[in-house]
Amino acid sequence: MMIALYVDDSIVSVHKNDVQEWQSDKQTISRTYPIKDLGECNWILNIKVIRDRQNRTITLSQQAYVERISAEHGLDATRSVSTPAEDIDLWLPIAPANSVELTGKHKTKYQSIVGELLYAANITRPDISFITGRLCQYMSKPYEHQLQAARRVMRYLSQTALFCMKFGGNLIAPGDSGLVSFSDSDYGECKETRRSTSGCLVLYNGDIVHWSSRRQKLVTTSSTEAEYIALGEAVKEIQWCRNWLSEVLGEEKIGTMIIHEDNQATIQLAQFSDKVSQRTKHIDIRYHFLREVIADGQVKLAWIQSKDQLADILTKPLQGGPFKYIRDKIIKTD
């Protein structure tokens, strides 16, 4: 039996053979805490849960949440956008007229929009994760051009409200752990700090179960170093997923986990510890742990073409075709 608890909301997962035992446990809990059983889960934390038992799938949708917050902010639905972000520098405004610091209700408006975007980005919408993370960096001192960027993300979210996360229904070959990750970095993407952005995606049985878009904690001196640091973070994430699957679901025989990387120099640096050049020997030792993980056979690096690097959507504001290609691979429209 598993209980997923968030403050006072919970979901209980019980095998059909353990229903009677769960009923007894529930009565024990109710003698200490007041609880209400709402039956099969249809809604949880503004997320609609759709279970298709015949096709063995579960879908998570935030359509109602997106429509509500869009209506609250009164966005102009006629202004269509195909991507959540323009390829611009959020640090500096395009026009001097937009370099106005927000105060009072306008600052609160910005913070409200970004906070609501962040909830969607963390739950069902990895396609807005990168730009939302960037907008979060200006919460304490936002400017007009950043508010316009936030409104664009909200407008895109409103136009794609039907997009959702679907789990299940995938066929995995025997002996395949089904645990795969994509790691990427955009070198020096942040013009303000000159730090790179790491992107990580983890799939289990073909479904996305984790994603992150984070600015790195130090300035790197090459794209190889930036990719190497991002790869180290991806290894940590996929190891956590492996431990969770083993501990909670009892899946102890998880084979070698695959991480897709599109930088050949990074793959060589991770696999051959004796090939250290002048440009990489300064890398902090804490990032070299992934070499042991690879040597132990826990993780295998696989080169992938940049156009198929799914984590690319988490490192930079992609435009047009490349954005749609990756987005449609990681989230569903029904």
Helix ranges (DSSP H) in the chain:
19-30, 63-72, 104-123, 129-136, 144-159, 223-248, 264-271, 289-295, 320-330
Dihedral, CA atoms, 63, 66, 71, 75, nearest 10 degrees?
Answer: -120
Do 202 and 209 form a contact (C-beta atoms < 8 A)?
yes
Structural domains of the chain in order of their starting residue, each with its CATH number: 2-61 (no CATH), 63-159 (no CATH), 172-313 (3.30.420.10)
Compute the average pLDDT of residues 33-56. Answer: 91
AA identity, residue 321: G
Cβ atoms of 218 and 210 closer than 8 Å? no
Predicted local distance difference test score (pLDDT) of residue 297: 82
Q: SS3 of 201, please?
A: strand
Average pLDDT over residues 289-309: 86
The token duo for 57 is: 């799938």
pLDDT tens per residue across span 77-133? 667 889 999 887 787 776 666 678 889 999 999 999 999 999 999 999 999 999 999
User: Of 15-19, 90-94, 171-175, which gets the smallest average pLDDT?
Assistant: 171-175
pLDDT value at position 115? Answer: 96
Q: Which of 233, 252, 232 is nearest to 242 (CA)?
A: 252
- The reported pLDDT for the residue numbered 69 is 93
pLDDT at 271 over 80: no
More confident residue, 190 or 153: 153
The pLDDT, as a whole number, for residue 109 is 94
Q: Could you give the C-alpha distances from 233 to 126, 181, 290, in angstroms and in order?
A: 17, 11, 9
- Give the CA radius of gyration of the chain: 22
The residues near 187 (Cβ < 8 Å, ≥ 6 apart) are 196, 220, 222, 223, 226, 227
How sure is the predictor about 175, in pLDDT bands with cuts at 50, 70 and 90? very low
195-233 per-position pLDDT tens digit: 899 999 999 888 999 999 999 888 888 888 889 889 989
Is 65 in contact with 47 (CB distance < 8 Å)? yes
SS3 227: helix
- Give the pTM: 0.87
Most confident segment among 12-21, 37-46, 108-117, 248-257: 108-117
Report the helix count and the strand count for the chain, using DSSP H and E: 9, 11
